[in-house]
Structure 1
């Protein structure tokens, strides 16, 4: 359950190193306008793997939505299969600018580092983050390191394959479709009460991860299986409903809007969208319906709740009081 929780809530490690200007410049386009409405479907001769479907296929655009399983080698190959058949002029992936360096990740080096992942590397990875974000990030990295060792696959392989396939196609553009990860984490954190936050952290730190292999991993290509995992975790910890709303439903809307913009940005669009399987139903639901005014509120970070300000101040002054008491006893006995 820890694996399914981590993989559904946090999609990829928070890697923040910068790419070269050539990557961010011409090949990655920003999304900033409203797309034309969805116009309908038609038959096609393009062959798709079972985890892909046509989101739009008519005279104005061909849009293929591929649902992937993170750490799945088959998902990586699915990307190449669709690119070969579709020959897209636009590819959208489920990444934001804060995670774009995932596209230049060295798979071999990552797997070597995963085998040597220790407490020192964990502390370095979360350095500079606040307590809650650091704790969640640490658990995420540990989960990914364990999975990489078990499965022999580095995270984000399907996105790297999409990026490398894009570079082979003249005129093809790569679009980053996801909301910045910092906004997502902040909105999720601030949606919880103190009690709910405690319940979530307790569950994440006490859950025993189930053994997983490449065959079990492929189960996540089933939307019914993914939904069952969501329902199981929310039965155990109802607070996860709020987190899933922020991490899944809100991002579904952002990804659908980004895909609309991707379709609008290219001429005679033949577009491939590569996203995690957990986002497929939501994108299908919202595609063609999202407006710019619907997205703007989802990019705002709510003000810090009063209870958290009070709690933080209480912890701070309690710490000062304990230090003062210790020094007083040390001096005056």
Structure 2
């Protein structure tokens, strides 16, 4: 049962999470908190449990360094990453293990393809968008998903178990293809995705840092939820639930979770709901 204090706080969920607060510690020992000065790290606690959740931008070198530093400092017994077992293996083999993150920008590429009338099937457009989003990063000296590589290496250094927390990439891409077929007409008529307020004027790295803001993540998610609700369900909601499930049910007393910034609020909400209903 939720106590009355926690029930009241869960209703206006998003607004206070953007401001930075401690939630629902009343009589339960369950809380989520972060420092508004550093929005990328939140602390999820329950009796006998602590998860340090790190929200990243998949193209940010500072995210990758922050992940490594936190794991070395905290020495958790488990590290959950936003990867499925296939992608972990691909990354260990030297490939690109990142998911189709940065979805707001990627969907812009898709919208341009859909609007051009080029006739590509949806799967082809999706592959084109992914290549367009990640294709030039290595030539710029940027390694997409470096935070996951750092997380796995740091976990090995401290003797922590690496946990693949995400849905199988094949299932995700199949679901995304179906979702795009359902949403594409609505996406073409929707300006919010094209009008996302991301300032590119100060260079690529500053743009990447903007994506680590909770406000920016909320803006992108809200636009996606409105313009592409089926895509949002596949790419955000389903994966939030899956990753939160691993964190909530784990036997590790202290964990670090490494996920894209857009997944943080959903995971935090699921943590509170899980432990307050146990």
TM-score bucket (shorter structure): 0.5 to 0.7
CA distance in 1, matches of 2:84, 2:188: 25
Contact 2:134 2:144 in 1 (8 A): yes
Q: Once the 2 structures are TM-superposed, how far is the Cα of residue 278 of structure 1 from its aligned partner?
A: 0.2
Contact 1:71 1:154 in 2 (8 A): yes
CA distance in 2, matches of 1:42, 1:229: 22
Provide structure 1 residue ranges, at least 5 long, that are not aligned to the other structure: 1-37, 109-129, 292-333
Out of 75, 98, 108, the position equivalent to 2:86 is 98
Corresponding position: 1:256 with 2:224: no
Alignment of 1:11-26 (within 5 A): none
Query: 1:149 aligns to what SS in structure 2?
Result: helix
Corresponding position: 1:77 with 2:61: no
Provide structure 2 residue ranges, at least 5 long, that are not aligned to the other structure: 1-27, 97-119
Contact 1:102 1:160 in 2 (8 A): no
Out of 262, 265, 268, the position equivalent to 1:278 is 262
CA distance in 2, matches of 1:50, 1:234: 22
Partner of 2:18: none
Partner of 2:130: 140
Partner of 1:163: 152
Would you say how many aligned residue pairs link Structure 1 and Structure 2?
215
- Tell me which protein shows more strand as a share of its residues: 2
Alignment of 1:1-16 (within 5 A): none
Q: Once the 2 structures are TM-superposed, how far is the Cα of residue 143 of structure 1 from its aligned partner?
A: 1.3
Contact 1:69 1:276 in 2 (8 A): yes
Corresponding position: 1:227 with 2:218: yes
CA distance in 2, matches of 1:233, 1:179: 20
- Tell me which protein shows more helix as a share of its residues: 1
Residues 277-306 of structure 1, C-alpha deviations (whole Å, 9 max, x = no match): 000000001126459xxxxxxxxxxxxxxx
TM-score, normalised by the number of residues in structure 2: 0.66
Contact 2:40 2:56 in 1 (8 A): yes
Residues 153-200 of structure 1, C-alpha deviations (whole Å, 9 max, x = no match): 111100000100111123x21100001122223334334666x33555
> CA RMSD, aligned part only?
3.4
Alignment of 1:118-267 (within 5 A): 131-150=121-140, 152-170=141-159, 172-191=160-179, 196-198=183-185, 200=187, 211=200, 213-232=204-223, 238=227, 240-261=228-249, 263-264=250-251, 266=252
Q: Once the 2 structures are TM-superposed, how far is the Cα of residue 49 of structure 1 from its aligned partner?
A: 5.4
Q: 1:246 to 1:157 in 2, by over 3 A?
A: same
TM-score, normalised by the number of residues in structure 1: 0.56
Query: 1:275 aligns to what SS in structure 2?
Result: strand
Contact 1:103 1:163 in 2 (8 A): no
CA distance in 2, matches of 1:185, 1:107: 18
Q: Once the 2 structures are TM-superposed, how far is the Cα of residue 226 of structure 1 from its aligned partner?
A: 1.6
Q: Once the 2 structures are TM-superposed, how far is the Cα of residue 216 of structure 1 from its aligned partner?
A: 1.6
Partner of 1:55: 44
Q: Once the 2 structures are TM-superposed, how far is the Cα of residue 229 of structure 1 from its aligned partner?
A: 2.6
Query: 1:51 aligns to what SS in structure 2?
Result: strand
